[in-house]
């Protein structure tokens, strides 16, 4: 299963066949659509930072949505970490909130798939072993605000002076976007009436994830054995976010920390490229 998926079955990849897997699904997480794309999502800020995130596949973005974490290349992680620390420093000095927003897209997909916000700095001492290529080091917590498919033609007119005056649709991973352009993208994301989203393919990617775990079972320790002692990650997330509602309408709330019980974390010095 080396095929990189730029888009799931909603993108008419119906000829891609999944092999059966006997792996018990110990990682199931309920994802409620009504916690995303909210009508009261704020799109106007005096200060904010914006970055384009490019992934090689939707498998990893599925995991980013499921576990509320992300990673980039070593240089990309350093850039995003510096941006988050600068935003926190600005908050301490001026009291002005400066969120760090990430616009997600898959290479060659001709669309963006969502908007997330950094909730904490990069932990360079730990890595998640569930990424598709299994070569990335470090990670950071995120919160998804918008999940919907928005075609590039909605953004192609947005030009980035900082990127040789190219369109925002022709950028590399962790390309920074100016405040004016970033706010315009937020408004387009919020107002665009999408017919599809990666959430439509969640079950499809759940099956692929189970198959990948089965294939890697001889290479990695059981995720829950490693996560149990990862207090550093838990403390980081506790400090950044109170709770995320995973079941709406007054049902059970699950904190971001509890979500990480489904993660696999390994200390590693590996370097990798997304």
Each residue's pLDDT expressed in tens, for the chain with a length of 274 residues: 446 778 888 856 443 433 333 333 444 556 789 999 999 999 999 999 999 999 999 999 999 999 999 999 999 999 999 999 999 999 999 999 999 999 999 999 999 999 999 999 999 999 888 887 767 789 999 999 999 999 999 999 999 999 999 999 999 999 999 999 999 999 999 999 999 999 999 999 999 999 888 887 755 554 444 443 344 444 544 544 443 343 333 333 334 434 444 454 444 444 433 5
SS3 43: coil
**pLDDT at residue number 4:** 75
SS3 176: strand
**pLDDT at residue number 226:** 40
The DSSP secondary structure of 80-128, one letter per residue, reads HHHHHHHHHHHHHHH-----EEEEEEETTSSEEEEEEEE-S--BTTEEE
SS3 21: coil
pTM for the whole thing?
Answer: 0.76
**pLDDT at residue number 256:** 41
Return the structure tokens found at 187. 């408004």
The length of the chain, given as a count of residues: 274
**pLDDT at residue number 74:** 93
Determine the Cα–Cα distance for residues 207 and 23; give it in Å rounded to an integer: 10
* Angle, alpha carbons 15-20-26 (nearest 5°): 120
**pLDDT at residue number 216:** 77
DSSP bridge pairs for 228: none
**pLDDT at residue number 97:** 95
Residues in contact with 18: Cβ distance below 8 Å, sequence separation at least 6, in sequence order? 204, 207, 208, 211
**pLDDT at residue number 86:** 98
**pLDDT at residue number 44:** 97
């Amino acid at each position: 299963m080396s095929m990189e998926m730029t888009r799931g079955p909603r993108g008419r990849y119906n000829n891609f066949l999944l092999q059966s897997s006997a792996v018990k699904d110990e990682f199931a997480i309920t994802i409620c659509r009504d916690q995303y794309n909210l009508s009261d999502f704020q799109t106007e800020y005096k200060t904010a930072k914006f970055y384009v995130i490019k992934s090689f596949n939707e498998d990893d973005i599925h995991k980013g949505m499921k576990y509320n974490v992300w990673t980039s290349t070593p240089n990309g992680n350093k850039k995003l970490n510096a941006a988050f620390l600068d935003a926190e420093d600005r908050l301490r000095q001026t009291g002005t909130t400066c969120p760090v927003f990430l616009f997600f897209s898959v290479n060659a997909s001709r669309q963006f798939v969502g908007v997330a916000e950094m909730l904490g700095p990069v932990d360079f001492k730990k890595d998640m072993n569930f990424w598709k290529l299994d070569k990335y080091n470090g990670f950071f917590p995120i919160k998804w605000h918008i999940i919907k498919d928005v075609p590039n033609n909605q953004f192609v007119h947005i030009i980035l002076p900082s990127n040789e005056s190219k369109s925002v649709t022709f950028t590399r991973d962790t390309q920074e976007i100016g405040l004016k352009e970033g706010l315009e993208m937020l408004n387009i994301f919020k107002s665009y009436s999408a017919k599809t989203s990666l959430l439509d393919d969640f079950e499809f990617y759940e099956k692929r994830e189970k198959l990948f775990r089965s294939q890697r079972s001889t290479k990695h320790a059981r995720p829950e054995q490693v996560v149990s002692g990862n207090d550093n990650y838990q403390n980081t997330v506790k400090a950044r976010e109170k709770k995320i509602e995973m079941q709406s309408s007054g049902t059970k709330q699950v904190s971001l920390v509890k979500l990480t019980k489904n993660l696999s974390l390994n200390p590693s010095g590996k370097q990798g490229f997304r």
